[in-house]
Structure 1
Amino acid sequence: MVTLSSKLKVAVFISGRGSNLKALIKSSKLKKSKYQVSLVLSNKLNAKGLDFAKKNKIKNYFIEKKLSTFENKALRLIKINKIKIICLAGFMRILSSNFIKKAGIPILNIHPSLLPKLKGLNTHERAIKAKYKFSGCTVHHVNEKLDSGKIIIQKKIKILKSDNPKTLAKKILKLEHIAYAEALEKII
């Protein structure tokens, strides 16, 4: 049986509402889970995910938007809290290669497309405009190149003729909530 003290400590970086953060926390509370969310960091003061972290008694911090300041403080907090994995969940910044090297632990990201297709932003609009039959989400390792790290897991969904960017985003977000926890458990 996995005990709380034996669970791997995870930090989640957010910039917004924190729906993937919520899903990771919920999954971490299952008895079979091998990880616990121990730290939440945001580069936005009003990120709703910070409130969710507070409600769940998880250490959480807003760190100034300037990337170098964010990265330096984040590295200190990761070390102090003995974090073993970082999950980017709606974190709208690109981490520097220096941060990735200094962290020295796996960094995961979730992206709302079937990588390597549609790297970057506006994936749902671009998928519909390109008339793709399928879209989905990808959890991957973070490296120096945008949305280019080794893929851990993908979840696929059919794009319906009736879909628009909003409806597609909503369907894919549900997949993300499942995929992120699965990917995390898979690499532990």
Structure 2
Amino acid sequence: MEKLTGLKKIKTAVFISGKGSNLKNIIRFSKIKKSPISINVIISNTNKARGLNFANQSKISKKIFDYKNVNFAENQILKFLKKKKIKFICLAGFMKILSKGFIKKFDGKIINIHPSLLPKYKGLDTHNRAIKNKEKFAGCTVHYVTAKLDSGKIILQKKIKITSKDNPKTLAKKVLKQEHKLYPAAIKKIFY
């Protein structure tokens, strides 16, 4: 990833599928002067993603792609990103797995946040699995996206203690709070 020079911010797309709390946080971060990125596009695979409201509130261009045919959807997304001159992608609760071909086109320029201390608990249901296995710690990881699920090079991690009072819901809340700090810190680490 090239380091940032001058004041030109990197044109970024954020991919979401859900309520978009990380998206909201990244938008806020992108607006500060020292942020290396600008959010130019928000992409979703569903018009039911509540996070799309943040696109409206922030007057950011948004586009929904139908994933019935993955190849077609990804080709449309790539054309759209090229047209918008997007150079960097942040996945923030995007519930589709990107193909090897798509990832190759954005080589090393796609990052994701995952609610576990990778390489532990890849995929879904991370908090429940961590509690069931009597883990002492949970956390979140920002990593580069590769063709293997949640397996790319780790950029930053944040560890938090699991208490005896925690259940998957309370743990998810605690981890999400850390995600909101970790994602901007990881973006800064990449570009500065």
Verify same fold: TM over 0.5: yes
Report the Cα distance in structure 2 between the residues aligned to 1:45 and 1:151, rounded to whole angstroms.
Answer: 31
Q: Cα offset for 1:134?
A: 0.4
Distance in structure 1 (CA, Å) of the matches to 2:72 and 2:94: 15
Any residues of structure 2 matched to 1:30-179 within 5 Å, and which?
Answer: 30-66=32-68, 67-104=70-107, 106-179=109-182
**What code does the residue aligned with 1:179 have?**
L
Residues 1:77 and 1:105: Cα distance change in structure 2 (over 3 Å): farther
Unaligned runs of 5+ in 1: none
Tell me how far apart the structure 2 counterparts of residues 2 and 127 of structure 1 sit (CA, whole Å): 43
Q: Distance in 1 between matches of 2:158 and 2:101?
A: 31
Off by >3 Å, runs of 4+ in structure 1: none
Instruction: Name the CA distance, whole Å, in 2 between partners of 1:59 and 1:35.
Output: 15
CA contact (8 A) 1:35 1:185 kept: no
SS in 1 for 2:51: helix
Q: Which amino acid aligns with 2:92?
A: A
SS of the aligned residue for 1:24 comes to helix
The aligned length equals 186
User: Aligned equivalents of 1:133 and 1:171: distance in 2?
Assistant: 14
SS of the residue corresponding to residue 48 of structure 1 reads: coil
Using the size of structure 1 for normalisation, the TM-score is 0.95
Partners of 1:86 and 1:49 lie apart in 2 by 16
One-letter code of the match for 2:118? L
Contact 2:108/2:145, CA 8 A, preserved across alignment: no
Letter in 2 for 1:64: D
Note the C-alpha offset of 1:181.
0.9
AA matched with 2:74: E
What CA deviation, in whole Å up to 9, does each residue of 1:10-68 have, x standing for no partner? 10000011111000001111121111111100001111111111110111001112222
The aligned counterpart of 2:190 is 187
Asked whether the 8 Å contact 2:108–2:144 carries over to 1, the reply is: no
Q: Is the 8 A contact 1:111 1:137 kept in 2?
A: yes
Q: CA deviation at 1:167?
A: 0.1
TM-score by length of structure 2 reads 0.93
Q: Percent identity?
A: 59
TM-superposed CA distance for 1:105, in Å, is 5.1
Contact 2:88 2:106 in 1 (8 A): no
Residues 93-143 of structure 1: CA distance to partner in whole angstroms, max 9, x if unpaired? 110001111234511010000000111110000000000000100000000
CA RMSD, Structure 1 to Structure 2 (Å)? 1.3
Q: CA deviation at 1:2?
A: 6.2
**Farther off after superposition, 46-55 or 111-120:** 46-55
Tell me the distance in 2 between the aligned counterparts of 1:115 and 1:103: 22
Deviation of the 1:90 alpha carbon: 0.3
Letter in 1 for 2:94: F
